[in-house]
Amino acid sequence: MQTITYQGLKINQNIQSSIQDVLVVEAALQININDEPYTVVMRTPNNDQALIRGLLFAEDIYKSNKALIFEVVKEENEVPTIINVTISKEKLGKGYLNKRTLLSVSSCGICGKKELKDIKVEGEKLTKTTTFSSDLLHEMFLKMNSFQHTFKNSGGSHAAALFNKNYEFLTVKEDIGRHNAVDKVIGDLLIKDYLNHAKYLLVSGRVSYEIVSKAFIAKIPIIVAVSACSSLAVDFAKEFGICLIGFTREQKMTIYSNPSFVKTTKSDV
């Protein structure tokens, strides 16, 4: 259940009318690891296993390719509220020691971090492996948009999509949270053991630091956003070797880092 109908009072030019409006669902999910609470995320139900798999990967809790065991511990109205993940102790990454102690809400991916050092990401800079035409990005966005059914119904969800080096569509997921949608697509390909084919991450909203860090951990070299990019997102994209592009709409875009990835036909520089 990704949408639900609520009654509202619509006012248009001082004319009031009662409407039944479709809203995107935001619901809490408690994630347990080995039968102990780890964190609570606010998400749009559906693709919960992919969400958890992507989150554990990004948090350096579980990096193995071996399939995880998921168990729905509790649910309400057929929507899971508590899911337990079983991970052997020798497979638990160091990120497990940095447990989130606060609620992780849909708009904040780093809420609950204990110290400033906890938001750092370690790893070697990604190396440039491809160049691409900017014209192809718009075609890829059209493909992603064709799957945004929750957004079309409610206007309240974000989407993320992954494509391979040949610009072929791999997966797309929607969620009320931008970073949740990214976790879902990365987690989906992790479950399918296909993440190493992902080269382009498209997002329907803005790009913050954490989305860049998730892409870097997943070794995805190109991020393309419909909306703005934060200053920290640009700083880290430069440091990580990621090509970061924002405001991609109506045949326009702004390249903030590593512009050598992009082939364009004209230049005013």
**What does the pLDDT read at residue 198?**
97
Burial 155-164 (b: 16+ CB within 10 A, else e): ebbbbbbbbe
CB 200 within 8 A of CB 167: yes
pTM of the model: 0.89
108 catalytic per annotation: yes
The sign of the CA dihedral 237, 210, 162, 145 is negative
Alpha helices in the chain (DSSP H): 48-58, 134-145, 149-154, 178-191, 209-217, 231-240
- Known binding positions: 247-252
* 195, 189 contact by CB (below 8 A): yes
Of 108, 111, 229, 243, the active-site residue reads 108
In tens digits, the chain (269 residues) has pLDDT values of: 789 999 999 999 889 999 999 999 999 999 999 999 999 999 999 999 999 999 999 999 999 989 999 999 999 999 999 999 999 999 999 888 766 544 566 666 555 554 545 555 666 788 766 778 878 888 999 999 999 999 999 999 999 999 999 999 999 999 999 999 999 999 999 999 999 999 999 999 999 999 999 999 999 999 999 999 999 999 999 999 999 999 998 888 999 999 888 876 555 44
Give the integer Cα–Cα distance in Å for 55 and 184: 8
Domains of the chain: 27-119 (no CATH), 132-263 (3.40.140.10)
**Which of 33, 40, 110 has the alpha carbon at shortest distance from 80?**
40
